[in-house]
Amino acid sequence: MLSLSEQRILVTGGAGFLGKQVINQLIVAGANPDKITVTRSRDCDLRDLDNCKRAAEHQDIIIHLAAHVGGIGLNREKPAELFYDNLMMGTQLIHAAYQAGVKKFVCVGTICAYPKFTPVPFHEDDLWNGYPEETNAPYGIAKKALLVQLQSYRQQYGFNGIYLLPVNLYGPEDNFDPRSSHVIPALIRKVYEAQQKGDKQLPVWGDGSPTREFLYSTDAALGIVMATQNYNESEPVNLGNNYEISIKDLVQLICELMEFDGEIIWETDQPNGQPRRCLDTTRAQEKFGFVAQTEFRQGLKNTIDWYRQNAK
């Protein structure tokens, strides 16, 4: 196991929703808070190679979480930005890290990298067996290219880069902006606002048939830190919790937890996204002992409670 106490660690996106949790877990695992550096996009635009070089200097470990990311709406509206931004941030930072002699690079990828029709549960060996779901493809492919880069750099340069594939994340402090949020925060906000207005109907995109798996942000952070300490191989690793739920059941559960009894209106002219998402998490358990801890209903309740307290 890699001891973190003396390591200089850069966490890109460390001020974000997942980043804060990763920093907490790093400190719990023994990292020195004074040796942890966080980049913020307004001060250090990682699409610029010189910024990547400066960020990578004198670091032992880089955990790359920074991403331009959002739900189906953002993916439809800005596919070019999502492709360019994520590819340039990642590929330049990996190269800068190699040049700077960084000892370990932890790249957090995306479940959107999987093919649209993947045998369920998704196994890492199926990652290349088809094209991603169309609305996610520019983002998913940009992130998947970083896996190829890390594997190539390991093969040619002996560079220790690992690649993790977390399923959809959720939790307190998530992004609740309706223009760019993922499904859980988007639904929580939608129900909350319907309650504030006294609306008796709740419009929801799609027909409710797709399934999703969700990982609580604290659990995702724990998995990332366990991999940082214990995993040093080229194969990608899924991070999930082995619980699959349909969007229809998810909406009903959120309505139940928030005590909303209005009518759900399914907007079937809007896209569903990928038909099913559920991960095989055997590799994470076998390679570095990761098992998610948070029961889904409790995680949702925590997220709803946080939003209600911070909605204003």
The amino acid at 178: P
Residue 14 annotated as lining a ligand binding site: yes
305 neighbors 259 (Cβ within 8 angstroms): no
Distance spanning both ends of the chain, measured CA to CA: 44
Give me the pLDDT at residue 275, please. Answer: 84
Stated pTM of the model: 0.93
Residue 19 annotated as lining a ligand binding site: yes
pLDDT, tens digit (0-9, with 9 covering 90-100), for 112-124: 999 999 999 999 9
Helix or strand or coil: residue 67?
A: coil
- 296-310 and 247-258 helices, crossing angle to 10°: 50
Instruction: Check pLDDT > 80 for residue 71.
Output: no
All residues at 6 or more sequence positions from 36 whose CB lies less than 8 Å from its CB, including other chains:
9, 10, 11, 14, 23, 26, 27
Give me the pLDDT at residue 25, please. Answer: 98
**Run of H or E including 54:** helix 49-56
Residue 46 annotated as lining a ligand binding site: no
d(CA 53, CA 47): 11
Instruction: Check pLDDT > 90 for residue 31.
Output: yes
Average pLDDT over residues 32-58: 94
Task: Choose, from 98, 114, 139, 231, the residue flagged as catalytic.
Answer: 139
CATH number of 9-171+214-242+277-293: 3.40.50.720
User: Percent of the chain having pLDDT more than 90?
Assistant: 88
Give me the pLDDT at residue 245, please. Answer: 96
What is each CA distance from 224 to 110, 163, 218, 291, in whole angstroms? 13, 10, 10, 12
Give me the pLDDT at residue 271, please. Answer: 83
Instruction: Check pLDDT > 90 for residue 274.
Output: no
Residue 212 annotated as lining a ligand binding site: yes
d(CA 149, CA 142): 11
> Residue 231 catalytic?
no
Give me the pLDDT at residue 272, please. Answer: 85
Pair of tokens at residue 7: 């390591």
pLDDT, tens digit (0-9, with 9 covering 90-100), for 289-311: 999 999 999 999 999 999 999 98
pLDDT, tens digit (0-9, with 9 covering 90-100), for 164-221: 999 999 999 998 988 878 899 999 999 999 999 999 999 999 999 999 999 999 999 9
The domains of the chain are located at 9-171+214-242+277-293
